[in-house]
């Protein structure tokens, strides 16, 4: 099985989910995950090793440095399948120290030979990141382990108590802010533009604090963010037709606006930017591919292969999250960006 087939809804079906996923709707990440998350993260039980980022068995062990992963359900490794359980936690810190199988953060840590501490909270927005966490379990964990009330507060507390040992901070944030701009098969461009302004302002403030704390004791430590793929390109597959194609094109413009803003604010704070949009061929219409009997532009076909947006009959509810192969593609984008970027 190739990487693109591992966990792919177009390939072998995964085990039947223990719980039927909720319907894709306005606020999809927050609503569905709020019901699904009984702890800090939702994990997939069986995960293929992502060869794209060189994390095969026998890879070099961690060097002692730390990758601190922040963000939402992508950093947590959520997939709409069964296998919920808490990640292992460190007896000394009380925080997850081995990462979430299936998420990109664990693969990046392995590729960079770093220990992983993952504070990501499913459903997190740029508002909840510095305020009340999106999940009560996240708030409980942050308070117990660091005394902080938010993910940002927990990250700053962790940096303060592990001075000079955090070599890399990764962050993905903002997708849950703009998901609320989608209703049914329609994406509101005006909503995306207004939301983007708020996301950029909040990220600018929070990244300034993170970068200052990260570099206080180690000016060579790195901060890395990412752009987003466009899950709504899958509207060209379902519902499809002229209306689906039109909405997919409209969403592409909206996500392009959002990604441009993210890139600007990350670079303003010296962060490396993983081109996840490019890794998913976002904006590339050729060559046309056939996916389950439907001819699609390349980027729409990639979204169908690497996310749960084009479900099989037994997974009849679209879901914006990546498959295992999709997470491997995100990890590869981070690793490529880190290795291209000059050392600080």
In CATH, what number is assigned to the domain containing residue 334?
3.40.50.1110
Q: State whether the Cα torsion 37-19-85-26 is positive or negative.
A: negative
Q: Does 120 have pLDDT greater than 80?
A: yes
Best-predicted range by mean pLDDT among 11-25, 174-188, 278-292, 313-327?
278-292
Q: Burial of 190 by CB count in 10 Å (0-12 exposed, 13-18 middle, 19+ buried)?
A: exposed
Give residue 188's pLDDT band: very low, low, confident or very high (50, 70, 90): confident
Q: Convert the pLDDT of each residue in 80-103 to its tens digit.
A: 764 344 455 555 555 555 445 568
Domain of residue 326 covers: 28-282+319-340
The average pLDDT across 154-159 equals 96
Higher pLDDT, 1 or 290: 290
The average pLDDT across 242-266 equals 89
Residue at 291 is within a domain: no
Kindly provide the b/e burial profile for residues 315-343, where b requires at least 16 CB atoms within 10 angstroms of the residue's own CB: bebbbbbbbbbbbbbbbbbbbbbbeeeee
Residue at 71 is within a domain: yes
pLDDT of the residue at 92: 56
Residue at 243 is within a domain: yes
pLDDT of the residue at 20: 26
Q: Does 37 have pLDDT greater than 90?
A: no
The average pLDDT across 111-138 equals 93
Q: Convert the pLDDT of each residue in 297-316 to its tens digit.
A: 999 999 999 998 997 666 66
Helix, strand or coil for residue 116?
A: strand
Helices (H) and strands (E) in the chain, counts: 12, 11
pLDDT of the residue at 251: 85
pLDDT of the residue at 279: 97
Q: Does 47 have pLDDT greater than 50?
A: no
Residue at 15 is within a domain: no
Both structure tokens of 13: 């079906």
Residue at 311 is within a domain: no
pLDDT of the residue at 102: 67
Q: Which of 54-63, 74-83, 158-167, 176-185 has the lowest mean pLDDT?
A: 54-63
Residue at 163 is within a domain: yes
pLDDT of the residue at 343: 72
Both structure tokens of 219: 């000016």
Residue at 12 is within a domain: no
pLDDT of the residue at 179: 82
CB atoms within 10 A of CB 22: 16
Best-predicted range by mean pLDDT among 115-124, 190-199, 239-248, 259-268?
259-268
pLDDT of the residue at 11: 35
Best-predicted range by mean pLDDT among 20-29, 48-57, 125-134?
125-134
**First CA to last CA distance, the chain:** 39
How many domains would you assign to the chain? 1
Higher pLDDT, 55 or 274: 274
Q: Does 17 have pLDDT greater than 90?
A: no
Mean pLDDT over all residues of the chain?
A: 78
pLDDT of the residue at 64: 75
Q: Does 56 have pLDDT greater than 80?
A: no
Residue at 17 is within a domain: no
Q: Convert the pLDDT of each residue in 205-233 to its tens digit.
A: 999 999 999 999 899 999 999 999 999 89
Between strands 319-322 and 307-308, the pairing is: antiparallel
Q: Does 68 have pLDDT greater than 80?
A: yes
Q: Does 55 have pLDDT greater than 90?
A: no
Name the pTM for this structure: 0.78
Q: How far apart are alpha carbons 111 and 55 in whole angstroms?
A: 6
Give residue 48's pLDDT band: very low, low, confident or very high (50, 70, 90): very low
């Amino acid at each position: 099985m190739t990487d693109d087939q591992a966990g792919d809804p177009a390939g072998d079906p995964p085990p039947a989910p223990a719980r039927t996923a909720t319907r894709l709707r306005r606020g999809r990440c927050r609503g569905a995950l709020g019901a699904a998350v009984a702890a800090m993260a939702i994990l997939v039980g069986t995960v293929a090793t992502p060869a794209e980022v060189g994390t095969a068995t026998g890879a070099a062990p961690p060097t002692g440095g730390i990758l601190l992963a922040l963000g939402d359900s992508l950093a947590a490794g959520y997939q709409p399948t069964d296998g919920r359980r808490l990640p292992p936690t460190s007896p000394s810190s009380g925080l997850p120290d081995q990462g979430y199988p299936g998420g990109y953060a664990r693969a990046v840590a392995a590729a960079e030979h770093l220990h992983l501490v993952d504070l990501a909270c499913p459903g997190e927005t740029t508002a909840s990141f510095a305020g009340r966490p999106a999940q009560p379990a996240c708030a409980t964990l942050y308070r117990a382990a660091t005394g902080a009330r938010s993910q940002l507060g927990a990250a700053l507390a962790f940096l303060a108590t592990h001075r000079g040992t955090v070599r890399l901070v990764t962050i993905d944030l903002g997708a849950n802010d703009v998901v609320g701009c989608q209703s049914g098969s329609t994406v509101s461009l005006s909503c995306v533009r207004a939301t983007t302004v708020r996301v950029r302002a909040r990220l600018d403030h929070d990244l300034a604090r993170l970068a200052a704390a990260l570099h206080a004791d180690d000016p060579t430590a790195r901060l890395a963010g990412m752009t987003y793929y466009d899950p709504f390109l899958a509207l060209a597959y379902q519902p499809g037709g002229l209306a689906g194609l039109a909405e997919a094109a409209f969403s592409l413009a909206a996500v392009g606006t959002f990604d441009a803003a993210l890139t600007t604010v990350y670079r303003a704070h010296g962060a490396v930017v993983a081109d996840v949009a490019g890794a998913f061929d976002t904006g590339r219409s050729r060559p046309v591919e056939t996916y389950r009997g439907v001819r699609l532009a390349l980027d729409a076909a990639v979204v169908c292969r690497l996310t749960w947006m084009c479900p099989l009959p037994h997974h009849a509810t679209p879901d914006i999250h990546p498959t295992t192969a999709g997470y491997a593609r995100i990890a590869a984008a981070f690793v490529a960006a880190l290795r291209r970027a000059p050392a600080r």
